[in-house]
């Protein structure tokens, strides 16, 4: 596992020198499906996706999985309030990840104010995304959920019309609180309606963004 193999070399002093990816931390490559950290493990490091994609999720006793978030290039993950990771993180595709030792609360107090502010900003954004996720899961139909995900993916990829989705249908289902069959059927229906086009499994073209946006709520 690359994590164990390389991490000992690392002694970055601050959270990426003020959460700026170029400065602190070391790069680690993870293969598709490889675990980056596990739920319950001590949260000693923080992470930023440099390339590829990462999922964080939780598992219930009987195996039900809920994906908490998808993380793409530029996104941070593994930042925790408490001592331990509350989710498991895995690479969805082959990925490069920047890893830095987490700052303690006292480190943070000593630090320049803008680092703390950036961390707060990041946490606030995470909170907002979970609030949106709660509305999606609590009150939206299957079709609205799928449409919401597609719009979100498009926005996060700089409003591309053609999405290269790195995740499987199972990943989508476990993010959307649906089954794989429902996700598949919904995508097929959206294609039949001319709203999207699915040239290959992992590629989705948004043909009618307005119609999709209408479906979002």
Nearer to DNA, 63 or 82 (CB): 63
CA–CA separation, 202 vs 21, rounded Å? 29
Nearer to DNA, 98 or 178 (CB): 178
Q: How far is the CB of 36 from a second copy (least distance, A)?
A: 17
Residues 186-205 that bind DNA (CB under 7 A): 187-188, 198, 200-202
* Consecutive H or E run containing 208: none
Question: In this chain, which of 36, 89, 119, 143 binds DNA, going by CB under 7 A?
Answer: 143
- Single out the residue of 184, 16, 38, 28 nearest to residue 101, CA to CA: 16
Which among 2-10, 20-28, 122-130, 182-190 is the span making contact with a second copy, rule CB under 8 A? Answer: 122-130
Question: In this chain, which of 1, 40, 84, 121 binds a second copy, going by CB under 8 A?
Answer: 121
Nearer to a second copy, 2 or 177 (CB): 177
CA–CA separation, 79 vs 201, rounded Å? 32
Under 8 Å CB-to-CB from 81, ≥6 apart: which residues?
none
Residue 15 interacts, among DNA, a second copy, none and using kind-specific CB cut-offs from 5 to 8 Å, with none
* Consecutive H or E run containing 165: none
- DSSP line for 81-145: SSSB-SSEEEESSSEEEEEEEPPPHHHHHHS-HHHHHHHHHHHHHHHHHHHHHHHHHHH--HHHH
* Consecutive H or E run containing 215: helix 209-215
Q: How far is the CB of 40 from DNA (least distance, A)?
A: 25
CA–CA separation, 210 vs 131, rounded Å? 23
Q: How far is the CB of 107 from a second copy (least distance, A)?
A: 11
Q: How far is the CB of 128 from a second copy (least distance, A)?
A: 6
CA–CA separation, 85 vs 43, rounded Å? 5
Nearer to a second copy, 131 or 160 (CB): 131
Binding site for DNA (CB under 7 A): 141-143, 168-170, 177-185, 187-188, 198, 200-202
Binding site for a second copy (CB under 8 A): 58, 60-62, 64-66, 68, 80-82, 86-87, 105, 108-110, 113-114, 116-117, 119-121, 123-128, 130-131, 133-135, 137-140, 174-177, 217
């Amino acid at each position: 596992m690359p994590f164990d193999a390389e991490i000992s070399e690392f002694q970055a002093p601050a959270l990426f020198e003020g959460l700026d990816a170029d400065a602190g931390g070391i790069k680690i490559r993870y293969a598709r499906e490889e675990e980056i950290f596990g739920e319950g493990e001590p949260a000693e490091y923080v992470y930023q996706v440099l390339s590829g994609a990462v999922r964080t999720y939780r598992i219930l006793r009987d195996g039900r999985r809920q994906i908490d978030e998808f993380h793409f290039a530029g996104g941070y993950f593994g930042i925790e309030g408490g001592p331990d990771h509350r989710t498991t993180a895995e690479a969805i595709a082959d990925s490069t990840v920047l890893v830095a030792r987490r700052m303690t609360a006292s480190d943070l107090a000593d630090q320049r104010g803008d680092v703390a502010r950036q961390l707060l900003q990041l946490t606030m954004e995470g909170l907002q995304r979970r609030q949106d996720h709660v509305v999606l899961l609590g009150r939206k139909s299957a079709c609205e959920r799928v449409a919401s995900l597609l719009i979100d993916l498009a926005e996060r990829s700089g409003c591309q019309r053609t999405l290269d989705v790195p995740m499987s249908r199972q990943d989508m289902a476990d993010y959307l609180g649906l089954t794989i069959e429902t996700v598949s059927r919904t995508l097929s229906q959206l294609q039949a309606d001319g709203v999207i086009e699915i040239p290959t499994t992992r590629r989705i073209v948004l043909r009618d963004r307005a119609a999709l946006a209408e479906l979002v709520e």
